[in-house]
Amino acid sequence: MDRWQYLLILGGCLLITLPIEFFGDGVYRQPIRLLRALTPVLVVFLVWDAIAISLDIWRYNPRYVSGINVPFMPLEEFLFFVVIPVCGLLSYSAVSATLGILRNRQHKTADRSRR
Amino acid sequence: MIGLGYTLPAIISVVVVCVLELAALRTGLFRTPAYWIAMVIVFGFQILIDGWLTKLSAPIVIYNEEHTSGVRFPWDIPIEDFLFGWALVTAVLLLWVRERPDREGGR
């Protein structure tokens, strides 16, 4: 079970943030925008990560990774650079939607008091 | 403990993201409350997740201490991770707000 730890953490991140998709403008519903925002950053961080791993700046405990590898790194590490930014975008989307609702409510109250 | 391998690139990544926004993208994201509130939330979750990934009793990620500042806080999180995480999430957010929504008629 231990070797699924890193994957389970990433899965948990996606699961916890999933409900936000149905609140506000969503992130997964805008796949093109998501790809265009994510891809350039993903490439830079994957290169950074691959260099760091090859120079032994950090490494992964074989006990807690699945053993599935993509070039230069464990699968989990590659997924990290997709999952974490998506969670960040969902958080931003949730906050933006909430602030939008609050702002609308304020406007309505202001309109009413003017009458 | 020299920090060349991680501390230095982590600081550079933050500077690069700031320069990218201020000199090129100019999205104005840093002036929006939504961004800073979202980053506080991201920061909170980062402490939980990163804390688990880096805990010295059973680490998932193992750092070569020669390349870090050696400062780990809170728990056993190398402080460099917060710069790394900030640069990663902020860079994607900057490109996200620059892109038009997939469905037209948005902001």
Summarised one tens digit per residue, pLDDT across range B66-88 is 999 999 999 999 999 999 999 99
Q: What is the pLDDT of residue B103?
A: 63
Q: Is residue B60 part of a domain?
A: yes
Which DSSP symbol is given to B72?
B
Determine what percent of chain B is predicted with pLDDT higher than 70: 94
B32 within domain boundaries: yes
How many Cβ pairs closer than 8 A exist between chain A and B?
Answer: 109
DSSP string, B5-18: TTHHHHHHHHHHHH
Q: What is the pLDDT of residue B106?
A: 46
Nearest-by-CA chain B residue for A58? B63
From first to last of its 115 residues, chain A has per-residue pLDDT tens of 899 999 999 999 999 999 999 988 999 999 999 999 999 999 999 999 999 999 999 999 999 999 999 999 999 999 999 999 999 999 999 999 999 999 999 988 888 887 6
d(CA A30, CA B85): 23
Helices A5-17 & A75-114 angle (0-180, nearest 10): 20
Q: Which domain holds residue B42?
A: 7-98
pLDDT of residue B105 exceeding 70: no
Task: Give the C-alpha separation, A77 to A79, whole Å.
Answer: 5
CB contact under 8 A, B58 and A65: no
ipTM at complex level: 0.94
**Structural domain tally of chain B?**
1
Which residues of chain B have a CB within 8 Å of the CB of A94? 38
In a domain, B1, yes or no: no
Q: Taking CA atoms, what residue in A is nearest to B48?
A: A9
What local confidence, expressed as pLDDT, does residue B1 receive? 66
The alpha helices in chain B, defined as continuous H runs, are 7-19, 33-54, 80-98
* Per-residue pLDDT, B107: 46
Give the pLDDT confidence score for residue A112 in this predicted structure. 82
Identify whether B105 is part of a domain: no
Domain spans of chain A, in order of start: 2-114
Please, what is the average pLDDT of chain B? 93
**Within-domain flag for B24:** yes
Whether the CB of B99 is below 8 Å from some CB of chain A: the reply is yes
